Every structure is written in structure tokens, then in C-alpha cells.
């Protein structure tokens, strides 16, 4: 459903568009786990392309002005794989940037989160081993998620390609890591388990996970993609 902001402005049509969120840290902030060169291409090329194509397809489907979460859900409901792939990848990457923090600022599991990891996985080391094992064993491209399930337990899940947990009211993501080769190949070549271990130990944003868990337990929305904004487009 088109929303306001689709009128004429200065001879060009103004649209309400999904924007590419800026990285929440410098390009070199995640090195050596993720180099500045990887981050520059990942954010500036891959993620930017998903955002651009989402806007093109959403406009063609009459979804100009909708929030990204709504576009993802509507694409899934309509079995519109082309739009779903682009929109979900746009959302997943924005959530992925929030799932990381510069080395030394990433925190550690504490309090309720630590207790829940212990209940669900045994302890933090066993959780880390499970994360590396599941993410390493995932066949092909996708994502690995730490989720709070409907029963109040933590669990790991992987999704293929652009898949994400937005369609399930029973799962609430605390963080995600990108399993596509473009996420790690320049820095770790084919060693995905090595990348996942370095990711957990170095840049996984436990403070973000804690915030997500708190919001989930309070029955509130978790992180949402920045609202679409006015932009001039031909």
C-alpha cells in the first residue's frame, strides 16, 4: 500500500525508501576478525545492492514507504521469492552489523543471559562449540542465529540464503552471524569454523544480545530496521 511521500518534488518523484544504515563502527574496528576491506565490500557493495534492489522491487509491488519488516513479511506471505531474497538480506545485514562490536567493547554474557546459556547449552564454552559446529556444518550460504524460543529457552538455528526468523512469532533473534562466503573468505579463506570462533571470541556483541533478550522478556519489539525516509528518485 503506497504511503505519503510519493508526490512530485522539483520535477522528480519523491519516494519513501529503505536506506542503507551506516555501520555503527569504523571500517577497521572489527579487525583482525573482519578486515576493513571485507567490511567495505560487504557493507558498501553487497548490503547496498540488497537495499537498492529492495527499493526497486518494493516500489513495483506498491510497497513504497513500508517498513522493511513489513516488506519481508508481505513478500513471504505472497511467496514473492525475488522480493523476499532482497528484503530479507537487507534486514539480515543491518541486524548483523548490530550483532557485532569493536574488539574490547563487545562485552560478555552476564546475568540472565548467562544463566539462560547455562540452562540451554551447559555453559558458555559448550555454547561456543555448538555455534561453531552448527555454523560450520551449515551447507552453503545462510545465517546462524541465537534465538529465544516460545518456551523461553535459547537455541541455535541456521537459515538458508536470505532466510530469517521474522516470520515466526515463536522465535526472537538475539544476534546473527553471516555464513555467506563473502563474509569471511578474504580474511579466513575456506575456514568458516575458524571465522566463527574468532567472531564469537572477538566481535560478537553480547550487549546487543542482552538488550534483545530484555526486550523479548518484557514483551516488546526487538531491534527494528531504521524507518524508511524521503528520497528523490527518478
- In the complex, the residues that contact Fe ion under the rule CB under 5 A are 178, 180, 183
* Contact in structure between 20 and 51 (CB atoms under 8 Å): yes
Shortest separation between residue 165's beta carbon and Fe ion, angstroms:
17
Name the residue with the smallest CB distance to Fe ion. 178
Shortest separation between residue 148's beta carbon and Fe ion, angstroms:
23
Whole-number Å distance between alpha carbons of 8 and 167: 35
Whole-number Å distance between alpha carbons of 146 and 156: 5
The grid coordinates of residue 79 equal 511467496
Q: Which is nearer to Fe ion, 98 or 178 (CB)?
A: 178
Q: Which is nearer to Fe ion, 6 or 141 (CB)?
A: 141
Shortest separation between residue 26's beta carbon and Fe ion, angstroms:
19
Q: Which is nearer to Fe ion, 84 or 180 (CB)?
A: 180
Whole-number Å distance between alpha carbons of 46 and 182: 9
The strand pair at 229-233 and 12-17 is best described as antiparallel
* Contact in structure between 21 and 97 (CB atoms under 8 Å): yes
Q: Which is nearer to Fe ion, 141 or 207 (CB)?
A: 141
Shortest separation between residue 180's beta carbon and Fe ion, angstroms:
5
Amino acid at each position: 500500500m503506497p504511503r505519503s511521500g510519493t508526490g512530485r518534488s522539483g520535477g522528480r518523484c519523491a519516494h519513501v525508501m529503505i536506506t542503507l544504515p551506516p555501520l555503527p563502527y569504523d571500517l577497521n574496528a572489527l579487525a583482525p576478525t573482519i578486515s576493513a576491506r571485507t567490511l567495505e565490500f560487504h557493507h558498501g557493495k553487497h548490503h547496498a545492492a540488497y537495499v537498492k534492489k529492495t527499493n526497486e522491487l518494493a516500489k513495483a509491488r506498491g510497497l513504497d514507504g513500508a517498513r522493511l519488516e513489513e516488506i519481508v513479511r508481505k513478500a513471504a506471505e505472497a511467496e514473492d521469492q525475488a522480493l523476499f531474497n532482497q528484503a530479507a538480506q537487507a534486514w539480515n545485514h543491518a541486524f548483523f552489523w548490530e550483532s557485532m562490536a569493536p574488539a574490547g567493547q563487545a562485552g560478555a554474557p552476564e546475568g540472565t543471559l548467562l544463566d539462560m546459556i547455562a540452562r540451554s547449552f551447559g555453559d558458555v564454552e559448550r555454547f561456543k562449540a555448538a555455534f561453531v559446529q552448527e555454523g560450520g556444518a551449515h551447507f552453503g550460504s545462510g545465517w546462524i542465529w541465537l534465538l529465544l524460543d516460545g518456551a523461553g529457552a535459547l537455541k541455535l538455528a541456521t537459515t538458508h540464503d536470505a532466510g530469517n526468523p521474522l516470520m515466526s512469532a515463536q522465535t526472537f533473534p538475539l544476534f546473527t552471524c553471516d555464513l555467506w562466503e563473502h563474509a569471511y573468505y578474504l580474511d579466513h579463506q575456506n575456514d568458516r569454523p575458524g571465522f566463527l570462533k574468532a567472531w564469537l571470541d572477538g566481535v560478537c556483541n553480547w550487549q546487543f544480545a542482552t538488550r534483545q533478550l530484555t526486550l523479548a522478556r518484557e514483551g516488546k519489539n526487538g531491534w527494528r530496521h531504521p524507518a524508511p525516509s524521503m528520497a528523490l528518485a527518478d
